[in-house]
Amino acid sequence: MPTSLVDALATQGIDTPTPIQAATLPDSLAGRDVLGRGRTGSGKTFAFLLPLVARLVADPKRPQPKRPRSLILAPTRELATQIHESHVILEKTTRLTSTVVFGGVGQNPQAKALARGVDVLIACPGRLLDLMGQGLVDLGSVEITVIDEADHMADMGFLPGVRKILQATPGSGQRMLFSATLDSGVNTLVKQFLHNPVTHEADSELSPVATMEHHVLRIDGDDRTRVVAELAAAPGNTIVFTRTKYGAKKLAKQLNGLGVPAVDLHGNLSQNARTRNMEAFHSGRVSTLVATDIAARGIHVDDVSLVIHADPPAEHKAYLHRSGRTARAGQSGKVVTLQTPSQRADVATLMRQAKIKPQVDDAAPGAQILQDITPGDRVFLSATEAAELAGVASKQPQQPQQPQGNGGGRGRRGGSHPANGSGRGNGSGRPNGSGRGRSSDRPSSPLRDDSHRGQSKPARDGSRQSRRPAQHSSHSAADFSANRRRGR
């Protein structure tokens, strides 16, 4: 590796390659097509960014307007943004330029950055296809193409769009495909677009999940929210998964009403709201994130100590990826699945297919098993205080900073507020010719997270107080985040 890139990684405390990086870098640096499978949190991002930046720097060219020199495709806006943040760490040592392209925000800043010319384009398929259709970007000069989370692309129905994008890139260019699993959908892309790829499988898909503590808690349906609240009120960061967007919105509101500050993440939120809520969770101001499967893959959040499946997922692959939000980078983690009587057979099948043997217990609010799973003092605020913490974003600027062509969009902006959706539609995902529309990063479907827009409001102080779990604290909202970071 070039010394400048090694030094850039050292500033981040990175001095030893992960298994997927050590396996793929010799071939990717040599310009070969690479098919890499590594589990979530295994270091795939730098595994493709390092050779991409090194090769572009070794062959310096001034990028032409609208014609990027390299392309990285990501399935979600959050992942695209986080890839860009990692790229900027390396870009600072070079003269390369980059920008990020995704839907849900105005396209003009993205189009202007492309018009100036960029070396590295990081994009979600929906918006990129829009810009291609409007003639605002031309992929004819792409020398290196990367597809990240390729199996997630397949699961989300992106393959037709990804094929169209890859067909617009030169066949002689280097192509790297990284994925947690290599299923039939991914193999379709491999056979059509990769040339004699070198395959590296650095670790097992199950390796991190098998090292976690897995619990199944048998509960009555009426106890679900209060059990989640008691688990989430313990020290540490928690991600709670629900099956539906409405369920995530409702549960976050209920947790705030019970004195546990929480923000939500799902497709009904505007891009502004998603950015602010993720910033609230990343910063530690709010320690509970309630999400649909939009957060199960492709979102990098450090130090998540607990994952709660408030709604068990429909299939084992989703369980593995949801659970992979914890126990990252060698850390430990715990996973709790809540099971109502009617879900007993489905959960048993889920665990068998995931090859997990969980500890199974009965649970109710105040049960000792909850303290055993998440030790430590519970901190409950008033509903008003919880809503205040979850609603800080309303005081922030309403527009997130759009990444520009010089890499200036690497930082997250804003705070957290679940009630700032714009209510504007995604658009059809097709070129509109106007340059003013908003396009979705997902195929239009009533089953997709981004198929509708809506709003979510913070809980108001009121009669919900009587449902608060038994243990309380006099901590103020201002002290809450600091106490949680200290493990108090």
In tens, the pLDDT along 28-61 reads 999 999 998 876 667 889 999 999 999 999 998 8
Which segment of 172-181, 217-226, 327-336, 414-423 scores lowest on mean pLDDT? 414-423
Residues 142 and 239 in one domain: no
Round the average pLDDT of the chain to a whole number and report it: 79
Distances (CA, A) of 125 to 122, 153, 222, 413: 10, 9, 41, 24
Tell whether the model's pLDDT for residue 463 goes beyond 50.
no
The confidence score (pLDDT) of residue 203 equals: 58
Element (H, E) at 390: helix 383-390
pLDDT tens sequence across 178-226: 887 776 678 888 888 999 999 988 755 445 555 689 999 999 999 999 9
- CB contact burial 131-154 (16+ within 10 A = b; e otherwise): bbebebbbbebbbbbbbbbbbbbb
Which structural domain, as residue segments, surrounds residue 322? 207-394+457-485
- At residue 389, the 3 state secondary structure works out as helix
Which of these three, 179, 201, 223, is where a domain ends?
201
Give me the pLDDT at residue 272, please.
Answer: 82
Tally of structural domains, the chain: 2
Last residue of a domain, one of 201, 229, 254: 201
Residue 194 to residues 43, 68, 119, 295, 486, Cα–Cα distance (Å): 22, 20, 22, 29, 48
pLDDT at 430 over 50: no
Q: Mind giving me the DSSP string for 76-143?
A: SHHHHHHHHHHHHHHHTTSS--EEEE-SSS-SHHHHHHHHH--SEEEE-HHHHHHHHHTTS---TT--
Is residue 258 one of the residues assigned to a domain? Answer: yes
**Among candidate residues 261, 274, 266, the one with its CA nearest the CA of residue 248:** 266
> Which positions ≥6 away from 277 have C-beta within 8 Å?
263, 264, 265, 269, 289, 393, 416, 417, 418
Domain containing residue 146: CATH number: 3.40.50.300
Q: How many CB atoms lie within 10 A of CB 355?
A: 11
Question: So what's the pLDDT on residue 477?
Answer: 52
Pick from 10-14, 52-56, 150-154, 423-427: least confident: 423-427
Distance CA 55, CA 29 (A): 7
Instruction: Give the mean model confidence (pLDDT) for residues 463-469.
Output: 40
**Residue 332, pLDDT score:** 66
Task: Say which residue the tokens 């539609």 belong to.
Answer: 425
State whether 181 and 247 are in the same domain. no
Q: Tens of pLDDT along 84-137?
A: 999 999 999 899 999 999 988 899 999 999 999 999 999 999 999 999 999 999
* Highest-confidence segment of 203-217, 349-363, 422-436: 349-363
Residues 230 and 185 in one domain: no
